[in-house]
Amino acid sequence: MNDDARQARLLERTRATLEAAHRTGVSPWEGRRYDYHCPSPRSYPFQWFWDSCFHAIALTHIDVDLAKAELHSLIQGARADGFMPHIIFWRPEHGVMESQTLRLSTPYLSASIQPPVIALAIERVYRASGDETFLAETLPVAAAFFRWLRDNRDPDGDGLIAVVQPDESGVDASPKYDPLLDYPRDNNDLVKAIDGIYAQYEPLGNDDARLIAADVFVVEDVLVNSIYAQGLQVLARLTKDEAEAAEYSAWASRVLNALMEKCYDPARGLFLDLLRTSEERTEVNTISALFPLIIEGLDPTVADRLVQDHLRNPDEYALPYPVPSVAANAPGFNPDHPRGFIWRGPTWINTNWFLAHALHARGYDDDARRIVESTRALVDTEGFRECYNPYTGEGQNASEFGWTSLVVDLPL
Ligand code: GLC
């Protein structure tokens, strides 16, 4: 099959995958209209925050009105103070949640965040539609969320925001968090550790300042902060008010400078997440290490080391089906996906999508092409799986997984 035929086939399968995940209706609470795509009909029936942002981006290739509806539904979860939840339970009776550990802010909204991909998703949908009304309705909600993050998740004022539980980063069981979770050996251990965190949070309510002060699970996560900085750069591009745009640019630079000062390890030539309020660097080399590549203005010599020493290193990230979520020689690396014990080695399409675009934008086209080619091959042969074994390419965990549709939005 030639490239065009394969691309057409991937587009057709994306359409079918997203169609099966399409959910519309009126919520039994507050009678709100929803129109979104769930991450996976069987495993994840609700609206997840960063998944929806990725779905909206993929939908720009299929039906831009659906992309707009996805984000319109998502912003309905925003609280008056700016907070946006990582899950909206449009129809809580779907019941899958009993098997999950969660903190809720209402019976219908979680109390957790996910990486703020929303600014980028709004930009992509706006560019595809040219719809100024859409932009005017959605951008202020995204901007308010970024302000909420700054005001509630950066109590030490260093520019970096903190996550207060593992799944807030979207890379839930990453071994970079192991020291804060009693070094879990499997998903049961992990759930026990998370339950322990939530039990300690119980008397603190949903007061973020108190959760951070309790220092039970506080991580200034490089992947989250890279997406935060990138989002601020997007806000700067989209905001028509010049003073406000300048504020976002300066704010993004502060985040990038803090990543350089506190998370960059010049000896190893990579970025490491900061654990606890005492900001101890994690030892573990995970895909976080490479994520500052997505931030405009990252020092090119730092970027070059990330590419040369790590991305191209066959002991770390240059596996047959890149890019694994953890460096192959890092403690805790596991190329398989034992149920629920995720983000410990397999390759995911959303992180490939971020890195392929970043590498292309920086002129590393051969590296970008390698990721793009292998991503297309994975999805073409294995289908729209949640993640893939980086050695064999075998698809793992949920099937008909929504954000794998980013395969139709790769560069080159
Ligand atoms: C898993 C992923 C998380 C995602 C969710 C729904 O928990 O780790 O990032 O948002 O599934 O797809």
Per residue in 69-81, pLDDT (tens digit) is 999 999 999 999 9
How far apart are the CA of 170 and the centre of ligand 1, in A?
6
Best of 38, 40, 51, 227 for a ligand 1 pocket test (most atoms within 8 Å of beta carbon): 51
Expressed in angstroms and rounded, the spacing between residue 11 Cα and the centre of ligand 1 is 23
Residue 101: the pLDDT is 72
From 18, 43, 48, 396, mutation site for ligand 1 pocket: most ligand atoms within 8 A of C-beta: 48
35 touches ligand 1 (CB under 6 Å): no
Question: Which residue's CA lies nearest to atom 9 of ligand 1?
Answer: 170
Residue 48 CB–ligand 1 contact under 6 Å:
yes
Give the number of the atom of ligand 1 that is nearest the alpha carbon of residue 86: 10
170 lines ligand 1 (CB under 6 A): yes
Q: Establish whether residue 401 lines the binding site of ligand 1, counting it when its CB lies within 6 angstroms of any ligand atom.
A: no
Q: Does ligand 1 lie within 6 Å of residue 342's CB atom?
A: yes
Is residue 50 lining ligand 1, measured as CB closer than 6 Å? Answer: yes
CA-to-CA distance for 104 and 106, rounded, in angstroms? 5
Residue 39 beta carbon below 6 angstroms from any ligand 1 atom: yes
The greatest distance separating any two alpha carbons of the chain, rounded to the nearest whole angstrom, comes to 60
Residue with the smallest CA separation from ligand 1 atom 2 is 170
For the CA atoms of 28, 33, 38, 42, the dihedral, rounded to the nearest 10 degrees, stands at 30
Return per-residue pLDDT of the chain as tens, 412 residues.
678 898 999 999 999 999 999 999 999 999 999 999 999 988 899 999 999 999 999 999 999 999 999 999 999 999 999 999 999 999 876 665 655 678 888 889 999 999 999 999 999 999 999 999 999 999 999 999 999 999 999 999 999 999 999 999 999 999 999 999 999 999 999 999 999 999 999 999 889 999 999 999 999 999 999 999 999 999 999 999 999 999 999 999 999 999 999 999 999 999 999 999 999 999 999 999 999 999 999 999 999 999 999 999 999 999 999 999 999 999 999 999 777 789 999 999 999 999 999 999 999 999 999 999 999 999 999 999 999 999 999 999 999 999 999 999 999 8
Render pLDDT for 100-128 as a digit per residue (tens, 0 to 9). Answer: 678 888 889 999 999 999 999 999 999 99
- Report pLDDT for 338: 74
